[in-house]
Amino acid sequence: MFSKILVANRGEIAVRIIRACKEMGIATVAVYSQADSDALHVALADESYCIGAPEASDSYLNEERILSAALISGAQAIHPGYGFLSENAHFASLCKRNGVVFIGPSAEDMDRLSDKTQVKKHMENAGLRVIPGSDALYSEADALAAAQEIGCPVMLKARSGGGGRGIRLVNSLEELPAAFAIAAAEGESAFGDSAVYLEKYIYPARHVEVQILADEAGHVVCLGERDCSVQRRHQKLMEESPSPAVSEEQRQDLFRRISAAVQAVGYVGAGTLEFLLDTQGNFWFMEMNVRLQVEHSVTEMLTHIDLVKWQIRAAAGISLNFRQSDIILKGACLECRINALAPGELRMLHIPGGPFVRFDTFLVQGTQISPYYDSLLGKLVVWAGTREETVRKMRAALCELVIDGLQTNIEEQLTILGEEAFRTGQYDLTFMESR
């Protein structure tokens, strides 16, 4: 096991990883930008290094400075969290060349599985149903030809996209040129990759994803599914587990197929397979995220499995000490993402309490929310014995949560909970379209 880990991230996920390391007896190293000098993750770590200006390109995306901090501090491994360098194959390769373990897949596996067009071929060969689509596209002419072959409407997506960026719905061929230009530009700006691909638009549908853990011995465990269908402009607002739209029979069949597929591609670590669930009960594979996801907390609350600790153990070559039969999905969990609507200063914070209530955050009194980074302030997660009770519990927790001095989306989350479609579990990806 590692004795010291550098956390190459900020915000709530950096705090989350540092806490897991402390519980494992592992020393931690924080890196921070000039804007984050007073951040909670810096205060919690055993040592810290400033790596540059507030802009992410000068700090949290600066591979050389982060690796230098790891080498200077003597850290044996780097945990990238999510976002930033978490799916950067070049950085994973750079770590390996310098004798530092990257807590995540190898650069080779990342290249193989992060390419959204190639991973679909791997998963189809392994037995999963994949959404009909194209290979990587580099020109408007190729995109038009592919759209004609697939048939509109189609989803146009940046090949290296994530977090809802680089995605456009194309209802007709006339809409494609403008959509292509925007998606390609967003992909180049956010991920350094202008390639796009097309998928058949499945509508209406729910966004259902399955969390997995896999070790070097070939053991794969599915830790339940998350329903992430409450989205605005492809940005997730709320997640629940298990999905109210998935039967136990569907669940077990899907888990068997996923386990076989993950074993076939030889993946090791934590990952998530994302699907669209259509009205006929078919699961259509979209992509695989080869990293920890923002919404991992809701799975941890439901299964009592610490995903961060098992990420670290998997990177150290430790095998899973549980199997699929040990995972019991009892009760229901709900997670609300609490976002800032504008920069500002936190004047007062009150976190709700009570049994089975969790708030993952980096906030402390006086925290400055800058315009440089993602707007996520924290994730409020609750568990109860039934979905109905869980919804009531989340409403109570949201009403108790106080984040004074910052504009947030708490009121919107309360509104969503009160909607009939959500309360009955009869919602899909169109739920937020009119809001």
Asked if 10 and 296 touch (Cβ cutoff 8 Å), the reply is no
Domains present along the chain, CATH in parentheses: 4-103 (3.40.50.20), 132-200 (3.30.1490.20), 205-423 (3.30.470.20)
Q: Please compute Rg for the chain using Cα positions.
A: 21
Asked if 363 and 351 touch (Cβ cutoff 8 Å), the reply is no
- For residue range 216-274, what is the model confidence (pLDDT) as tens digits? 999 999 999 999 999 998 899 999 999 999 999 999 999 999 999 999 999 999 999 99
- For residue range 305-351, what is the model confidence (pLDDT) as tens digits? 999 999 999 999 999 999 999 999 999 999 999 999 999 999 999 99
- For residue range 57-77, what is the model confidence (pLDDT) as tens digits? 999 999 999 999 999 999 999
* 205-217 core/surface letters (b: 16 or more CB in 10 A; e: else): bbbbbbbbbbbee
Query: Which among 226, 291, 337, 358 is annotated as catalytic?
Result: 291
Asked if 7 and 79 touch (Cβ cutoff 8 Å), the reply is yes
Range in 127-136, 289-298, 351-360 with the lowest mean pLDDT: 127-136
DSSP string for residues in 34-98: GGGTT-HHHHHSSEEEEEE-SSGGGTTT-HHHHHHHHHHHT-SEEE--SSTTTT-HHHHHHHHHT
What confidence category does residue 192 fall into, taking pLDDT thresholds of 50, 70 and 90? confident
Q: Quick one: how far is CA 364 from the chain centroid? A: 24
Note if 291 is an active site residue. yes
pTM confidence score: 0.93
Separation CA 54–CA 374 (nearest Å): 13
Separation CA 209–CA 11 (nearest Å): 24
